[in-house]
Amino acid sequence: MNNARILLVDDEKSIVQMLEMVLRKEGFHHIYTAGTAEEALRQLSRYGADIILLDVMLPDKTGFELGPKIREMSDAHIIYITARTSDLDVLTGFAMGGDDYVTKPFNPLEVVARMNARLRRGVVTAQQPSRSHDSPAVYDFGHFIVNETAGDVIVQGESVSCPAQVYQLLLYLCKNPNIVFSKSQLYEAVWGIDGVGDDNTVMVHVRKIRERIEPDPSEPKYLVTVRGLGYKMMKEKGL
């Protein structure tokens, strides 16, 4: 049995019932539902959540408006599920606290695969397993440090808050400095499933990383773009 707490937020009862049925078949049993933004916040406050499947079009508030309010209460992964498919909508979803974006109509088993990938990799940084003493847990790039054991990002001596999936991508790049990764390679490595078609997800998270670690995010010197190939984390020799 999977002990993860799942909050389904959608006013379409047929979608909620279908997702709940599939999730229970896949071993999820702590499932809570809400049909409005207000009800979602009540459920979140009462039960907490590890993953939130969030519709964008709700009767009282959009999922985009609800995302930041959820972020004030929880580090749960937010997976937007919506019929809105434009690039602007996808980028807005990530900007409003989302970690993933699934468009309707969708295969519910794909949603389950995305959820399981996050749970396997530690959705919340506080739940990450401790490392063995013979494996380095601190990645020092001079201007910033990532402490894997503590789950901290330190920039010029100051702790910087970092959402779970942004942190996971940053950590992966820090573990593999000076290596070029394509967007699909990064998506598969960090999100745990095939990254074809998920370029926006990686680009948004790269931007969030740069906003935290770069002296000038518009001209990055650490997380750089390699034209036509992807991204790499630059690290000077001796650090």
Architecture in CATH of 133-233:
Orthogonal Bundle (1.10)
Rounded to an integer, the average pLDDT of 121-141 is 53
Identify the CATH homologous superfamily for domain 2-124.
Response regulator (3.40.50.2300)
Give the whole-number percent of the chain exceeding pLDDT 70. 90
- Listed residue (67, 93, 71) closest to 9, CA to CA: 67
**SS3 state at 34:** strand
pLDDT band of residue 140 (cuts 50, 70, 90) is: very high
Higher-confidence residue of 71 and 222: namely 222
Taking only the tens place, the pLDDT of each residue in 145-193 is 999 888 889 999 899 988 888 998 999 999 999 999 988 888 888 877 6
What is the reported pLDDT for 223?
A: 96
Question: Where in the chain are the domains?
Answer: 2-124, 133-233
Taking only the tens place, the pLDDT of each residue in 54-105 is 999 999 999 999 998 998 888 888 999 888 777 787 788 888 888 888 888 8
What is the reported pLDDT for 29?
A: 87
Q: Report the chain's mean pLDDT, rounded to a whole number.
A: 84
Q: How far apart are CA 210 and CA 206, in angstroms?
A: 6
Q: Across-strand partners of 31? A: 6
What is the reported pLDDT for 96?
A: 83
Higher-confidence residue of 81 and 1: namely 81
CA distances from 153 to 23, 84, 97, 130, 164 (A): 34, 34, 19, 17, 12
Whether 137 shows a pLDDT value over 70: the answer reads yes
pLDDT band of residue 124 (cuts 50, 70, 90) is: very low
- Listed residue (25, 28, 21, 37) closest to 6, CA to CA: 28
What is the reported pLDDT for 201?
A: 85
